[in-house]
Amino acid sequence: MRVQSLTQCTVMLVESFAHTLEYGGRGIVVRVVQAYRFALDPTARQGAVLASHCGAVRVAFNWGLAQVRANLAQREAERSYGIPEDRLTPALSWSMYSLRKRWNQVKDEVAPWWAGNSKEAYACGLTRLADALSNWRDSNSGKRKGPKMGFPRFKTKRRAARSVHFTTGTIRLDGHTHVILPMLGRIKTHEPITKLAGLLTEGGARIASATVRWQEGRWHVSFTVHTERPPAAPTRPDAVLGVDLGIKTLAVFSDGRPPVPNPRHLNNAMRKLRRLSRAVSRKHGPDRRTGQRPSQRWQRANAARNRAEHRVAALRRDGIHKLTTSLARTYGTIVVEDLHVAGMIRNRRLARAVSDAGFGEIRRQLAYKTAWHGGRLLVASRWFPSSNTCSSCGAVKAKLPLRVRTYVCEGCGLSMDRDENAALNLASLVERTVAGSGPETRNGRGADRKTPPGGAGGRETSTPHRAPTVRIRRGPSPTPGESLRILETQ
């Protein structure tokens, strides 16, 4: 990350080191790290072996965590007895190398059946433990930002996510519908793998690792591939698009293209999910207190409910991929807002709708897809008043309730949809903050005007001339250097 000054304003440039330009026999290529996921169709025996590997990951994780907890408890007890620090039991190293070395010394006693699974399964569990301990330590010391991380807990058989990661061994594709994994052999896939196979055959891709995971009611394999992509350019490289995300309408654009309605997949499926949930509750399910095993009817009813939930997730994911791919292929610059999704879902009346819309996923996909297609993603400051600002004269309203869907400016008389007005302000923010070389810039409606007091992120009342600055209590007013963050590939 580096800070760069552009035309009297500072923007933060985030570079993706996974994307590099190289010049070779095939010309200039862009090297990227890309994931390819395929649904597996294993036999009953192969499914049992996959479950055994995931269990081996859990066993190695729990064994290492037990060793760490015992070492910490022993040292704490010795401190309570007044033993000096230099005479305490030596601290156990939390690195993956040390944990794996210790595991290899005792695996015959701890897990006599260890040879039935790949060594990568045990290494995967110890790696995840080392990462969890490192995250907890960095979080407590202040090195890691965000909410405080708790100390790792033991993984249970029924609640832990089942997955295993392979980095060595035989990892390759076989034919058009089969993959080969270490200790698992040849496994059939539900869908053809010809696209990835073609990249591997041409020599422009290399499989670095594979992860098998039980997800959405079936086994999936994800290949991490180092591949080469030719430099691409969007259809309209000079076009700037402001995207305003919302609940009533999923996306409104600044160039006049039709808005994308919110499909509300979860809301449409709630009636069916309620019926299936009632059916599950009437069956004899598992009970951890009494050790009761679930009945066959409960398992069938639960599987039906899970399929309905997985369909909702698949529909949402498909729609977001189509939307973001279309935008990244067309526009050279896309501007979105830095929405505080974690804070929005704290509102119990909006939590379900916000989660169903997928704001965070839209921004995540735009970030890497714009880099793939030669564009850039600009993220406006969280405190930039895009909805409260008039896109014609630049006046800022002190308040604009959500129930008011039409923006009416008292200064210039502008009247338009509030979401479209916000999209225009996001698009004009690029010219005012990045492209502007002087006090005169052009706003979203194409009119020339001076930059408002306080820079691109300045706030003023509805009166367009010499109005006092209004402080929004939700957070500080952004400085010109905080108005935009550019996410692009160098």
The answer to whether residue 174 is catalytic is no
d(CA 35, CA 30): 16
User: What angle, 0 to 180 degrees and rounded to 10, lies between the N-to-C axes of helices 44-80 and 96-110?
Assistant: 110
d(CA 325, CA 232): 13
The answer to whether residue 318 is catalytic is no
Report how far Cα 257 is from the mean position of its chain's Cα atoms.
27
Q: Which of 228, 244, 460, 488 is catalytic?
A: 244
d(CA 150, CA 317): 30
The answer to whether residue 244 is catalytic is yes
* Residues 343, 347, 349, 352, Cα dihedral to 10°: 40
d(CA 90, CA 71): 8
Tokens 């029924």 label which residue? Answer: 158
Beta bridge partners of 20: 31
Longest CA pairwise span in the chain (Å)? 81
What are the phi and psi torsion angles at 267 (to 5°)?
-65, -40
Q: Which of 228, 356, 419, 420 is catalytic?
A: 419
Q: Which of 120, 228, 337, 488 is catalytic?
A: 337
**Which residues are known catalytic residues?**
244, 337, 419
